[in-house]
Amino acid sequence: MALLDIRTIPDQVLRELAKPIDNITGEIVRLSEDMIETMIGARGAGLAANQIGLPIRLIAIDASLNPKEKSHIILINPVIVETQLEENGEEGCLSVPGYYEFVKRAKKVHAMGIDLKGNTVEFECEGQLARAMQHEIDHLNGVLFIDLLSPLKKNLFKKKITKKDK
C-alpha cells in the first residue's frame, strides 16, 4: 500500500466532475486501499478520488464514522438518494488545509453505491457519517465545502488564502 499525494486548492482536478467507474479492477481495489491508508495518514474522515488527482467516482470514509459495521466504507459511483432535515456542523477538508467552518447540510441521508465486490449497498446515515457522505460526494461533483459558505464567509476565506500566498 502507498500513501498518495493529496491535492489542495487551487488544483483544478478538485473542480472536475468525476467520471463513473464501469469495471471494478484490481487497480480500483488497490487504489481504494491506498486511499484508506492516505486518509488515515492525513487524519481525515474521508477522501474522494479527485483529492488524489483521479477524477473518478470513488470515495473512502473512515471506520470511526461507521459504528454499525465498524469498517471503512468504500463506495463506487455513490449517490445520495434522499435527505432529511438540516443542521449546521463544523467541517474541514484535507484539500483545504487548516481551514474549518460551519456548513449547513442534511442531518440524515440515504446513500447508495457499489462496493468492491460489485454489490449495490445502501446506507442510512446520520450525524458525522451523513456529513462525511455529503462532503465526499460533493468532491466527486467538483464542489468543495467552502462553496457552501455564505458570501461573507467566502470573502473572509478568500482574504485568508490571499494572505497565506503572500
Instruction: Give me the active site residues, please.
Output: 136
Q: To the nearest 10°, the Cα dihedral for 61, 118, 80, 107?
A: -40
- Dist CA 19 CA 110 (whole Å): 21
Residues 122 and 112 sit within 8 Å (Cβ to Cβ): yes
Residues 137 and 78 sit within 8 Å (Cβ to Cβ): yes
Q: How many CB atoms lie within 10 A of CB 142?
A: 16
